[in-house]
Structure 1
């Protein structure tokens, strides 16, 4: 359900999103494009602000003032500006205009805004830009390692016992619909770039990658009937419990990818390598916060959540992700 209306001004692509419900005289302005905002973010912002304005990086100064800034200052009394310091010219122009006209404006960097309000880490759109806050990421220390190990082993043991009938059922149905191996092993990249065999129930035909490595998609034609059911209910992920006992993965963490995709993403997405400072997970913050997707754009959005998880890990966040995973599975939401 949309709660905003979108309009585009001329050909400059200044987007104005207006709330249908909020009438509080508050507006938030972004001096960048919406490349780090997803629909969920905009929906949440429009629960707090009457209008959200997205200004592109490269735009004529006169047009910026006349079409975006001046009308906002006349219309609203509470203006918030999210600025990217890498593009100082954009917010300097706005700040100086506010000072000349005796208008107040609240400024926050895109780095702080993403972490405090969107609960994700800002990842630049270009490999030529970096987030100075990231530096070298590290796990939180001994408490995190001990806590995660306890949660991993405890929940994996319970899940293995509870789901044992599904293992038998899956073996029978796979044999009926697509004769061949019950399990599917695939090399994935884990902690510190170490490669491991990720084990799943096979959900695709045996010739699924006859033409090379491909991303899975939500309606993948290579998937047979029961395989689609396993994916929707996450039954195909159950054998990864064995990876937990082997120490390859945790229950929660960044989703492990294949080397060919990791190498490709690292060339196109800033800070992508940082996700390998912790063990990958069967589920993760990105999986429960971002819809199913493939390609560079989706990988970048998921990385924002993965890096937030690494930077802001807590026992509470870990347990919330586990709970959200349970809800997602029971609602057949998939990841």
Structure 2
């Protein structure tokens, strides 16, 4: 149990009992009860909620419901006058039991679906863990309309020109350092998937040894032993991404959008992550909402959480959101909180 905002908790590993998180800085005396939380909540989301609710109870799916309700949920209901219940009514019927407990104790309750809660509070779209489970609020196709595409093209061109001219010294320095520290080409090209699943060669400054994938495609990771010294600095400051400005001028990617992924990884993700194909309805980007909202990670668990943010960006695009992502990316670069 955590007593304040500082906590260490793996939401990907549900236990046989509910977890309680408490906050000393909440702006509300309301208790938040979340059922089936393990597929959409992560550490940053929990930190956000701990600033709003005095206590949070996380109810895993694999539980002894009798014990859970009588030993965990019921005592909480008796302590608080206001309860906010977040549940998935299509796939989790336990909200009926919680609702009845609240009514019996004459407490105030508001109920949110997991779809509304994710979208309105956590600013991401709910993506279930199971391919059989659906989100009824997601269309079969997501894309930008003509006005948005035109505005993004203008933003891409103007900012890319500024970045290219302003970063020319870094191109020269990077070329020299790469040549000095690692034999091989300065640039690295890798096949990525773009708009409508079209593939293109994504251009970057090479940050790894030339034999980095001698045994096949693998995810990069923090403190990757394949990265040479200056390559690590480039990855930390995102300098290695600068050549992707050329991809923007070619019309293959945008400045902001879902991260362009490799076809081999997309195939595996689409086999297990619902709605993963929806991210191909827009051009990928050098940076994006998922990159600034979610920490660097690899694998299916991280890909699902990043997809939630990508889908929110596409569905709720605005000029304000675009500028927010640009500013957040600049903060990441200048504070060296890259990969």
TM-score > 0.5 by shorter chain: yes
Whether 1:125 and 2:145 are equivalent positions in the alignment is no
1: CA distance between counterparts of 2:336 and 2:8? Answer: 31
Q: Deviations over 1:169-219 (max 9, x none)?
A: 111111111121111100000011000000001111111110000101111
* Aligned residue in 2 for 1:71: 75
Whether 1:56 and 2:60 are equivalent positions in the alignment is yes
- The equivalent position to 1:289 in structure 2, one of 293, 303, 306, is 293
| More displaced stretch, 86-95 vs 49-58 | 86-95
* Offset, 1:21: 3.3
Whether 1:251 and 2:259 are equivalent positions in the alignment is no
TM, length-normalised to structure 2? 0.94
8 Å contact 2:27–2:52 — kept in the other structure? Answer: no
- The equivalent position to 1:146 in structure 2, one of 138, 147, 150, is 150
2: CA distance between counterparts of 1:5 and 1:228? Answer: 29
8 Å contact 2:142–2:279 — kept in the other structure? Answer: no
2: CA distance between counterparts of 1:164 and 1:215? Answer: 29
2: CA distance between counterparts of 1:37 and 1:101? Answer: 29
- The equivalent position to 2:274 in structure 1, one of 270, 290, 293, is 270
Question: How well do the aligned residues superpose, as a CA RMSD in angstroms?
Answer: 1.9
* Offset, 1:85: 1.8
Whether 1:43 and 2:47 are equivalent positions in the alignment is yes
Q: Deviations over 1:116-167 (max 9, x none)?
A: 1111111112222121111223323122111100000111111111111111
What is the 5 A alignment of 1:172-183? 172-183=176-187
2: CA distance between counterparts of 1:22 and 1:130? Answer: 33
8 Å contact 2:27–2:51 — kept in the other structure? Answer: no
How many pairs does the alignment contain? Answer: 333
Runs of 4+, deviation exceeding 4 Å:
4-7
2: CA distance between counterparts of 1:232 and 1:176? Answer: 19
Whether 1:197 and 2:204 are equivalent positions in the alignment is no
2: CA distance between counterparts of 1:5 and 1:281? Answer: 33
* Aligned residue in 2 for 1:84: 88
* Aligned residue in 2 for 1:114: 118
* Offset, 1:31: 1.2
- The equivalent position to 1:13 in structure 2, one of 17, 20, 30, is 17
* Offset, 1:93: 1.6
Unaligned runs of 5+ in 2: 10-14
1: CA distance between counterparts of 2:29 and 2:327? Answer: 37
SS at match of 1:274: helix
8 Å contact 2:192–2:202 — kept in the other structure? Answer: yes
* Offset, 1:6: 7.8
* Offset, 1:105: 1.0
* Aligned residue in 2 for 1:321: 325
- The equivalent position to 2:310 in structure 1, one of 306, 310, 314, is 306
1: CA distance between counterparts of 2:191 and 2:138? Answer: 28
- The equivalent position to 2:225 in structure 1, one of 218, 221, 224, is 221
